[in-house]
Amino acid sequence: MSNPCIICVAITGSLPRKENNPAVPITVEEQVESTQAAFEAGATIAHCHVRNDDQTPSSDPEKFARLMEGLRKHCPGMIIQLSTGGRSGAGEERGGMLPLKPDMASLSVGSNNFPNRVYENPPQLVEWLADEMLKYAVKPEIEAFDLSHIHQAVQLSRQGRLKAPLYVQFVMGVKNAMPADKPTFDFYIETLKRLAPDAQWCGAGVGSNQLLLNEWSIAAGGHTRTGLEDNVRLDRDTLAPSNAALVERAAALCEKYERPVATWQQAREILGLASN
């Protein structure tokens, strides 16, 4: 039972709507219920966004606070990771929830193209978000949309702005960014191991690439992410009935590759997080 695999569930995101899949949880109450089922299926990190009543993305700290309260009550021990992504706010508004002191927060350390816009992460904002995470003892999950983002994360760590060991997520399959390419994925792992030997990593695939990245990551000894934020379908013809169903699919791959699914206690130990 060595090398447990941490499964992260990205429950909502900023884009998927009820029209895309009725199972997408929008309200805080829906998100708590959906996350609890995913937690029971084996997910130990909840990657969280919040929405307005009209389903548009929000960065309202009050909404995040209510979500955290519900998750701590119904998913005791689960690692809560809040998004500082750019679709829900501008500038420092993106980090307005960090004083809530979640276990983790996402941190994109560089800009890149998205399907129909530039995902802007200017150096000054990246440094401010990193400093805020240090201030409030929030562990960053580095979102690497490009090879340069791995190098940038290591540089920020050497400057003391990111506390080692790093946790880096390779995001692949976003249109106009890095495609799901196996040689590139392998080089990501090699590069991270060379530059930050003590780092942990995770693989996330967007859309139809979700299952592919789940399998590559689990087989290679890393951790993985699933959930309705990244993919609302089980396959081309079938909507995913829940976040839990996507977690169960990742857990089945862990069994295939003889990797135990990490418990929340193991996940916290692996990531150097205190137990609640």
Q: Which CA distances in Å does 235 have to 140, 164, 209, 212, 239?
A: 31, 38, 10, 12, 7
Q: What is the pLDDT of residues 56-104, one digit of tens each?
A: 999 999 999 999 999 999 999 999 999 999 777 788 999 999 999 999 9
Q: What is the pLDDT of residues 142-196, one digit of tens each?
A: 999 999 999 999 999 999 999 999 999 999 999 999 999 999 999 999 999 999 9
- Beta strand 223-226 with 200-205 is parallel
Instruction: Count the Cβ atoms, other than its own, within 10 Å of residue 263.
Output: 14
